[in-house]
Amino acid sequence: METVNNRQRKRLTEDMSRLFGRMVVAMMPIMPRFVVRWISRRYVAGVDMESALRVMRKLESQNACFTIDVLGEEITSIEEADYFIEEYERLLKMIVKEKLDANISIKPTAFGLLIDRDKGLANIEKLLREAAKHEIFVRLDMEDHRVTDDTIEVCLAMHEKGLENIGVVLQARLFRTNADIENICSILGPGADFRICKGIYLEPSEIAHTQYKEIVDASNEAIDKMLDGSSYVAIASHDLPVIDHALAALEERKMGPGVDDPRPAAPPPRKGKGEGYEFQMLLGVRGDVRRRLASQGHRTRVYIPYGEQWYEYSMRRLRENPTVAWHVTKAMLMPWTNKR
């Protein structure tokens, strides 16, 4: 058991890291592009699939599995979706060929959902069916609040078509999230598969929590609700209060490594999944915590983003979570403190 002093030191370190991160974020408007590129190398796997593969090969020895994301989102013409369809199809072939323990993450707007809804849905369904042939799971990343309803509807529509290798991301910072959990669980039952995260998009205070403690509390409440809804829960957080709460929640429900999911209506076993839950972390962030969780037997998944749109992703990621800036900068300046 941790002592009170150890917990206090952890909290103090968290507070200091957030303060340093805010300082880095404040400098972003005047930061040269090459500096952002230097920082982003820590948590972006590269500009192409081959670079991502090299990163994953290095991490496999740490008992990590992966979710792979081709960077890019809202497009301006439906023809632009062809790039993402083709790249993800190449990615599926690579996962199969290289026998990777990996699934994929996609952004619905990159497939044209906001330009031509029917075509966007058809594009996503096409990719989902190809993934299903190889029992590869597809995670629908959540974008800003404009497309929350659309993204959830895509997930439900695919399940209606019998395609169950799909799940959605929900953002704890949004006030609506608990209601969304209840709605999805009521429709999909144990077929519901969530990733819960704080959310990369900074949303208005009228619809979202904006303070750190509020977001932590909302994350913990969402985790409990998802677990009690008998859904599969991917806990995507680097915040120690959230990770500690998740571990306690799992223990309370007698869930854990090597134990069959004991919940009465547990989700069915699925290739590449854990015992009803898993932990997820960004590439290059909190590697020490991820390795500790993995050593305890928890399934740990690393988010592997790659692509030409690394700059836009990097700027948004740093703005959303200043603590990431601290972890990344610390790892760059003092690499012995935190392996990727």
CA–CA gap between residue 283 and residue 299 (Å, rounded):
15
- Reply yes or no on whether 301 is catalytic: no
Q: Evaluate whether 108 touches 151 at the Cβ level (below 8 Å).
A: yes
Out of 195, 299, 301, 317, the active site residue is: 195
Coil, strand or helix: which one is 37? helix
Q: In degrees rounded to 5, what are phi and psi of residue 237?
A: -155, 150
- Reply yes or no on whether 11 is catalytic: no
CB burial of residue 211 (10 Å; 0-12, 13-18, 19+): exposed
Q: Which DSSP state fits 46?
A: -
CB burial of residue 3 (10 Å; 0-12, 13-18, 19+): exposed
CA–CA gap between residue 70 and residue 330 (Å, rounded):
26
Out of 69, 141, 180, 261, the active site residue is: 141
Catalytic residues: 141, 195
